[in-house]
Amino acid sequence: MNDVLATDEDGLIRLQKLLAQSGVASRRKCEELMLAGEVEVDGEVVTRLGTKVDPRVAVIRVSGQRLPPISDHVYLVLNKPRGVVSTMSDPEGRRTLTDVLQEVRPSADSSERLFHVGRLDTDTSGLLLLTNDGDFAHKMAHPSYEVDKTYVAEVDGEVTKHTSETLLGGVELDDGPVAVTRVRIIAATRQKSIVELVIHEGRNRIVRRLLAQVGHPVRKLTRTELGPVDLGQLKSGQLRDLTLDELGALLDSVRM
């Protein structure tokens, strides 16, 4: 978050003021939440009004929900259009994420130096995070944190219950086994099917290779969710900020 807060000379701010300025509730309501034991700082319940915290590093929860620290970092959700390469520049002159950003944020500060969190294939559309927070991007992309990724795929042929069970049980690929954590058949005919898959793997073209391996080459692929973040009504090429709840949940998922 990039809000500017009035802190004291030690960089501290009263907790109820921080909560109010972060959009949790009015100052009075935030005080009521503190008195009711609904606010934690670094794992400890804080009920004393006037308690000061460092908004840059304090881990704050309100009714169990993480409140992200105040920083100059930017966290964005992009619905990447199909045909856009997941890079900020391209020597071959293909349409890049920078091109999309310039279309939707023409007046943005060029010094932000945004970069993508992970990547999507050029011919895959959907949810992609953009940020200038290097630590966050690195942890989100690290396989040890296993953040769930949800895809909707249109494939050749009829996906059956047996195929779903195979996907859940695990499939051997050239670079090792892979299994989905959830699969849902949205529609199925002899000619084509639409399926939703949840997977935490991040290997190159993993969903396409997985579905091809079980006999259903992908016609069209969209990532619809990443952990607690979903596309919702965000149209292709559109951009929005992560909400406080989304960012807080993602920070928790990568233990930041």
Task: Tell me how far apart the alpha carbons of residues 34 and 108 are, in angstroms, rounded to a whole number.
Answer: 37
| Alpha helix segments (H runs only) across 110-205 | 134-141, 161-169
Taking Cα atoms as reference points, which of 88, 123, 213, 199 lies closest to residue 163? 213
- Number of other residues whose CB lies within 10 A of the CB of residue 209: 16
The dihedral sign for the CA sequence 79, 85, 86, 88: negative
Taking Cα atoms as reference points, which of 217, 75, 228 lies closest to residue 157? 217
Determine which one of 121, 135, 156, 245 is catalytic.
121
Q: Which amino acid is at 40?
A: E
Task: Tell me how far apart the alpha carbons of residues 87 and 96 are, in angstroms, rounded to a whole number.
Answer: 6
Taking Cα atoms as reference points, which of 178, 173, 210 lies closest to residue 195? 210
The CA-based angle 89-91-93, given to 5 degrees, is 80
Q: Is 252 a catalytic site residue?
A: no
Task: Tell me how far apart the alpha carbons of residues 250 and 226 are, in angstroms, rounded to a whole number.
Answer: 9
Task: Tell me how far apart the alpha carbons of residues 98 and 110 are, in angstroms, rounded to a whole number.
Answer: 10
Contact 38, 67 (CB under 8 A): no
Active site residues: 121
